[in-house]
Structure 1
Amino acid sequence: MTWAEDVIWWHVYPLGFGGAPIRESPTPGHRLRRLLGWLDDAVDLGCTGLLLGPVFAAETHGYDSIDQFRIDPRLGADGDFDDLVTACRERGLRIVLDGVFSHVGRGHPLVEQALREGPDSDAARSLDIDWGHPDGPRPRVFEGHDSLVRLDHAADAAADYVVDVMTTWLQRGIDGWRLDAAYSVPTDFWARVLPRVRGNHPQAWILGEVLHGDYAAIAAASGLDSVTQYELWKAIWSSIKDRNFFELDWSLQRHNDFLQHVRPNTFVGNHDVSRIASEVGPELVPIAVVILLTVGGIPSIYYGDERGFTGVKEHRFGGDDAVRPAYPDSPADLPRTDIWQVHADLIHLRRAHPWLGAATTRPLELTNTTYVYRATHGERHLDVELDLDAGRAVIRGADGGVLWRYR
């Protein structure tokens, strides 16, 4: 068991949180420091870790990095990052960074030099760009995005580069990494890289972004500690929205199997998807949060969800902006609401029953709009009652007593 299996993450997209310009002129600033004023609020919510989106120098949205050894000037500088790590340590918060190792931005200095000098240049070899584009001798790109140049993950230089980046920031005080688009990188690349990283940092936790497939097999082949549970995410919101709890039950059966091999990162929102309040409506958000916090896994709360933010992800240029908003400087400027209290109550219930992280579920009652399931680990259990028609959720302890109720 690793320390991360009991963490409840507060997931933040820093460029959005700090109000940094994304596509406009990259105005420098110390926007990372805005997080300092919010850490106590995250602790009050019950979170025990800070899961950060990209913080490294990039061209626009952060996933087009140009220097992963340097804090993005729009967010600040080394001192701002060091102060954030210190503040997290003082509050008992773990901290994980987002590593984009599938690709780099086309504006990366070595990419620009390689494009000028060709695939046999020292620049191309030092970063190991993948030149296997199907249309000729030019770099492959990530999922059709010309601004994102793929690395050659079969090459030693790419592995050396990733090990260097990961180790550098672990030495700076972070606790682990989220590997962006881990699904797009061969598992044998991670199997070569991660043991080298863990050689000096054996407690580092590594979360891979995986969209679908056999999560357990992917984690085993790559050496990942955890993977993102997108199947469950989809089943939670769509079973509520479509009034079809049979979908959720089916997904939880698969989730039970995954839990025997890997403890996934569970969530109902992140920087890449529409807000849960927009998907199911504000009045049914508590039911989604109940599910999230009473099934096995390592949950994360995406900033703003705990305050009922809405926002729809659109598949267009700038279509992520609505789900990556700025936060005010202080929690005093964004009062806590009933939905904040729902999150806090359920997170604290989860922390009072840490065995839920490994719990499997089985249905006790199931219709399209009602679902009663038992979450069990060893000799311990609790029952969860969900009713979409009434908009009601009840959690009962092993003795049948009510631990928490919504409506």
Structure 2
Amino acid sequence: MTVPDWVQDSVFYQIFPDRFANGEPSNDPPNVQPWGARPTIHGFQGGDLRGVIQRFDYLLDLGVTALYFNPIFQATSNHRYNTSDYYRIDPKLGRREDFNELLAVAHRHGLRVILDGVFNHCGRGFFAFQDLLENQTHSPYRDWYHIRRFPLDAYGEGRAENYAAWWGFRSLPKFNTSNPQVRSFLLGVGRYWVEAGADGWRLDVPNEIDDDEFWAEFRETVRSANPDAYLVGEIWDVNPRWVGPRNFDGLMNYPLRNSLLGWVAEASLSTTALATSIESLLTAYPRPHAFASYLPLGSHDTERIRTLCAGDVRKVRLMALIQFGLPGAPAIYYGDEIGMEGGKDPDSRRAFPWSESKWDRGLRDYYKGLIRLRRRLEPLRRGEYLRLLADDGAGVYAFARRTEAQAAVIVANASESTRQVEIPVSGLGWADGTSTVDEMHGARRLVSAGAVRLRLPPRDGTILTPRSAASRA
């Protein structure tokens, strides 16, 4: 199996470990900030793996089926992209036993867990780089990195000058993955945590390791440990090079997010342009890889979706509706489902507010409804895409997802006006007289003259199914 079959059925939930829940204050660092304090680049707020375990009922109630964790290995920063020890859970997040228990709880409830793999670079505390700083030209690890000249200075001001580092940050020295010892080490990490029970890897900046052979080896190594492991690459543009039997199963589909923002939040993209963009994304990759795409509306690297929508929850809901209707695995960045806001990082990494008085409960219920519909309606997970309508003047977009047995229609109105919409459905096999169900609002409508007619309020949308499909709930 080239691509894990389970991915297209999944709804991911991304957790930034330091900010989701604090279940064990005893492992907090001495300078921990109060929960909910304004996020800073360097500050910790005490989130940990025990907190995720304690709040697992929340995730089950929401209905998500897979978890993606930002880095959990030992590091000195709250984001942990500067790994010190790839084989140790960061003590500020808990113990290995906590990780094992978290995996056991997730798997018992049918949830998959993927980890963040940072293999392009490490932190200054990593053993090989520490040895290099201590022993300079005499270090046995001098070929583990890209050294331009000695002596090395990893703690001075400004960018790294005498060694390669990610974006020049002195704290993130870049591995020399052409070195067989480095390759062996990193491949061993990839295998180890999958053998420990992780269901795959989200691979950080994999394009920085511009070496197809490395990723082919990585894939083979991980798949030998678990043939069903999911590999998803953090690639921000459309680039088919990075998917396939020697690379990744799917990519983080930020281009889709950008198109949805352009159509819904910014009104900078026409309806036809949106539809064309979506269709280009779907055809850019072989079908199995398009259906294994990770579909985010936000992440730790972006502003919060509600903030980008200027607080307009209607826009958030409309974007989520389309996100959940398209091929791929929709992903929720922790807290987006309750309306958390935040600007550019670190502000987008605020602590989850566990007081329900701070939640947008209506938005959370909306997300729960989308997740239930996606679970119930196979076309939303596995159906082929078909454009039905892209009306630039009205600002209305409609498309279908269809399998051999069923079909569902997603329709969205991005305008500020109520629209009377006529959606052609004869191509779906919905004969005149077929009763359809509005899954979001409960109304029923008959197909007449090959179309379904409905009234859509501003910034609203719905999913339509034939009554026979709805009755199988």
Same fold, TM-score > 0.5, yes or no = yes
C-alpha change, 1:321 and 1:360, in structure 2 (3 Å) is same
Q: Aligned residue for 1:6?
A: 9
After the TM superposition, which of the residue ranges 99-108 and 18-27 deviates more from structure 2? 18-27
Q: Aligned residue for 1:386?
A: 412
The number of equivalent residue pairs is 395
Query: How far apart, in 1, do the equivalents of 2:90 and 2:278 lie?
Result: 39
TM-score scaled by structure 2? 0.76
1:9 deviation in Å? Answer: 0.9
Task: Give CA deviations for 1:15-41 in whole Å, capped at 9, x if unaligned.
Answer: 2224675755879x7822111122222
Query: How far apart, in 2, do the equivalents of 1:142 and 1:136 lie?
Result: 9
Aligned AA (1:305)? D
C-alpha contact 2:160 2:168 (8 A) present in aligned 1: no
After the TM superposition, which of the residue ranges 31-40 and 386-395 deviates more from structure 2? 386-395
SS at match of 2:85: strand
After the TM superposition, which of the residue ranges 292-301 and 248-257 deviates more from structure 2? 248-257
Task: Give CA deviations for 1:40-85 in whole Å, capped at 9, x if unaligned.
Answer: 2212212111111111111212101111111112111112212211
1:220 deviation in Å? Answer: 2.0
Instruction: Give unmatched runs, 5+ long, in structure 2.
Output: 23-27, 33-39, 150-158, 442-459, 462-473
Picking from 270, 276, 283, the partner of 1:250 is 276
Query: How far apart, in 2, do the equivalents of 1:90 and 1:261 lie?
Result: 27
SS at match of 2:14: strand
Q: Aligned residue for 1:89?
A: 107
Query: Which one has the largest radius of gyration?
Result: 2
Query: How far apart, in 2, do the equivalents of 1:227 and 1:302 lie?
Result: 16
Q: Aligned residue for 1:40?
A: 57
Query: How far apart, in 2, do the equivalents of 1:104 and 1:210 lie?
Result: 19
C-alpha change, 1:392 and 1:83, in structure 2 (3 Å) is farther
Q: Aligned residue for 2:247?
A: 223
C-alpha contact 1:375 1:381 (8 A) present in aligned 2: yes
1:333 deviation in Å? Answer: 7.2
Is residue 2:289 matched to residue 1:265? no
Is residue 2:324 matched to residue 1:307? no
Query: How far apart, in 2, do the equivalents of 1:30 and 1:402 lie?
Result: 40
Q: Aligned residue for 2:468?
A: none
Picking from 251, 257, 277, the partner of 2:306 is 277
After the TM superposition, which of the residue ranges 165-174 and 390-399 deviates more from structure 2? 390-399
C-alpha contact 1:189 1:222 (8 A) present in aligned 2: no
Picking from 319, 331, 347, the partner of 1:288 is 319
Query: How far apart, in 2, do the equivalents of 1:344 and 1:119 lie?
Result: 57
Identical aligned residues as a percent: 26
Q: Aligned residue for 1:144?
A: 168
Q: Aligned residue for 1:240?
A: 264
Q: Aligned residue for 1:110?
A: 128
C-alpha change, 1:275 and 1:150, in structure 2 (3 Å) is same
Is residue 2:78 matched to residue 1:67? no
After the TM superposition, which of the residue ranges 145-154 and 112-121 deviates more from structure 2? 112-121
C-alpha change, 1:10 and 1:368, in structure 2 (3 Å) is farther
Query: How far apart, in 1, do the equivalents of 2:138 and 2:219 lie?
Result: 28
Instruction: Give unmatched runs, 5+ long, in structure 1.
Output: 314-319
1:176 deviation in Å? Answer: 0.9
Query: How far apart, in 2, do the equivalents of 1:392 and 1:129 lie?
Result: 60
Instruction: Tell me how large the CA RMSD over aligned residues is.
Output: 2.8
1:387 deviation in Å? Answer: 1.5
